[in-house]
Amino acid sequence: MERFGFFTDTSVCIGCKACEVACKEWNEVPDDLVGWAGSSHDNSVGLGADRWRHVAFVEQPVPLGDQQANFRREGGDFRWLMESDVCKHCTEAACLDDCPTGAIFRTEFGTVVVQPDICNGCGYCVPACPYGVLDKREEDGRIFKCTLCYDRLGEGQEPACAKACPTDSIQFGPLEELRGRAGARVQELHERGVEEARLYGEDPGDGVGGAGAFFLLLDEPEVYGLPPDPVVTTRDLPGTWKHVGLAAGALLAGAVACFAGARR
- Quote the CA–CA distance of 221 and 172 in Å, as a whole number: 21
* Size of site (CB under 8 A) for other proteins: 64
Residue at 209: amino acid letter:
G
150 near other proteins, rule: CB under 8 A: yes
Under rule CB under 8 A, residue 234 binds other proteins: no
Note whether 167 binds other proteins by CB under 8 A: yes
Contact 109, 1 (CB under 8 A): yes
The verdict on 18 binding other proteins (CB under 8 A) reads: yes
Shortest spacing between CB 174 and other proteins, in angstroms: 18
Q: Which of 2, 100, 118, 204 binds other proteins (CB under 8 A)?
A: 118
Smallest separation, CB 35 to other proteins (Å): 6
For the stretch 122-133, what's the b/e string if a residue is b when 16 or more beta carbons lie within 10 angstroms of its beta carbon? bbbbbebbbbeb
Question: Where in 83-112 is the site for other proteins (CB under 8 A)?
Answer: 96, 102-108
User: Which of 15, 23, 8 minimizes the C-alpha distance to 144?
Assistant: 23
Q: Which residues are within 8 A (CB) of 254 and not within 5 positions of it... i.e. 6 or more apart?
A: none
Check binding of 79 to other proteins (CB under 8 A).
yes
CA distances from 39 to 18, 58, 196 (A): 19, 9, 24
Footprint of other proteins (CB under 8 A): 12, 14-18, 20-22, 24-26, 31-36, 38, 40-41, 43-44, 59, 61, 66-73, 78-80, 82, 96, 102-108, 113, 115-118, 149-152, 154-155, 157, 160, 163-168
